[in-house]
Amino acid sequence: MAAFYKELKKLRENSNIQLEEIQNRTKINIRFLEAFENGQFDILPHTYVRLFFRAYVTEIGGDPVQGLSDLEHFINRDPASSQTVPTPTGDESPGGDLSAAFKPKSPMMKRSNLIKAGIMIVFWVFALLIIRRITLNSDGTATTVQGQRIITDHLITENELLTDYVVFNSMELTHDATPPFSLRISGKNIVSYKVNVDSSEPQSITMPGGDTKSFLFSSQVALLLNHSRGVAVFLNGNPLKNFISQDYPVRILITGAPPLIQYKYYTPFQ
């Protein structure tokens, strides 16, 4: 039987649905859609994989509940469960001598195993402490470790966005705010961002956790956050709709009256 993702690809092709159509309707990058059909589900964090995969299955006319069930089974499969059980030797066969197989371990062997386990525990505790010290900046700000959380005061540059990240989701919506416009940014964690208000020169700002900044604008404002974890953005005092919290860069562009809000969410390029 073909893998479930191959069956879904076949269903899409038989329904004469192009990946470009799904991308246009869902705003999911076609690169991720192609990865789904190749069984490459490690291309995105698990939360986004489930969200995007459900939308993909729905668009091709599949059963999203069954699709998510197949996805979970595929991701969480245990390679060890597929190993064959060793064939019993002659001594372990019925009527043979089973005493060796079930012989209790001596106290000396148990003591040795406990000592080894204790040494391993101490080793890993020290290793974790060393890793923690390495992954902390001088001001105590955590950086990324193996693609995990990025809570840092480092400002993401345009060049880094092009080389290290890819847009995995974009959306736009209107807001009923009326001039004069004010944009307020607050964060529980330290966050760096670049803001460009109307025609003024861009400002690069590193904002400590618990701080708040406000900007007045008349026609447009562009904002590039290095992450949105614990960050809140308000337009004329109202929180922005569909603003997603994540550990990677987010770009926001607000233009016009009534304002049109455009989001671009990035994820590390793998």
For the full predicted model, state whether its pTM sits above 0.75: no
Which tens digits make up the pLDDT trace of 160-185? 888 788 888 889 888 888 888 999 99
Angle at 175 between CA 174 and CA 180, to 5 degrees: 130
Mean pLDDT for 124-152 is 45
Give me the residue spans of the domains in the chain.
4-75, 158-268
Structure tokens at 240: 């922005």
d(CA 37, CA 6): 6
In CATH terms, the fold of domain 4-75 is 434 Repressor (Amino-terminal Domain) (1.10.260)
Domain 158-268 has CATH 2.60.40: yes
d(CA 122, CA 249): 37
d(CA 246, CA 251): 12
Does 88 sit behind a cis peptide bond, omega within 30 degrees of 0 on the bond before it? no
Which tens digits make up the pLDDT trace of 38-69? 999 888 777 788 889 999 999 999 998 999 99
Q: Which residue has the higher pLDDT, 128 or 207?
A: 207
Exposure class string for 148-166: b at 16+ Cβ within 10 A, else e:
eebbbbebbeeeebeeebe
d(CA 148, CA 135): 11
Does 258 sit behind a cis peptide bond, omega within 30 degrees of 0 on the bond before it? yes
Angle at 144 between CA 227 and CA 131, to 5 degrees: 150
One fold for both 4-75 and 158-268?
Answer: no
Does the pLDDT value for residue 97 go beyond 50? Answer: no
SS3 148: coil
Q: What is the pLDDT of residue 63?
A: 92
